[in-house]
A and B are shown apart, each in its own frame.
Chain A
């Protein structure tokens, strides 16, 4: 009887769990560090937010290229997904008037690398938040 009570207490509804994880990953994607904030890891969230967003802003300052989804080149399409991984920062930059980069600017290539790397770091942050939510990490 006691064993059954323990088993019932431990059982988690799978749909609710999946929904929670999806919401966590979407939040972590949209705003860097938000997933960790939802899990209560405030300092980790703040450091991730500042680092990833700083990389993105440095990429913008260096006039890095914002790739387009409908590009003829597969590499540019990959670059678009890399930059979209930062979340709302990319559409926000376009909304506030960033023209998508100046390839003739002296630091433009470095800027592009910063923009894509910021997206990739956010992917790591999303995966970390997922692992913490699943209990695989502390």
Chain B
């Protein structure tokens, strides 16, 4: 029998540690974490497989809590 567990696969994503290391700390003055002009990192982190975009999740801003 196929169960949910038997279909799970790891999500390949950028760790927030790596993202923070490459982008630096969030800067309130510039309102950005990423300060560079190289969009490769931006593309990488924007793609839907990253951990931060919420793309795949339907419960962003879960309304049930308010």
Question: Are A and B interaction partners?
Answer: no
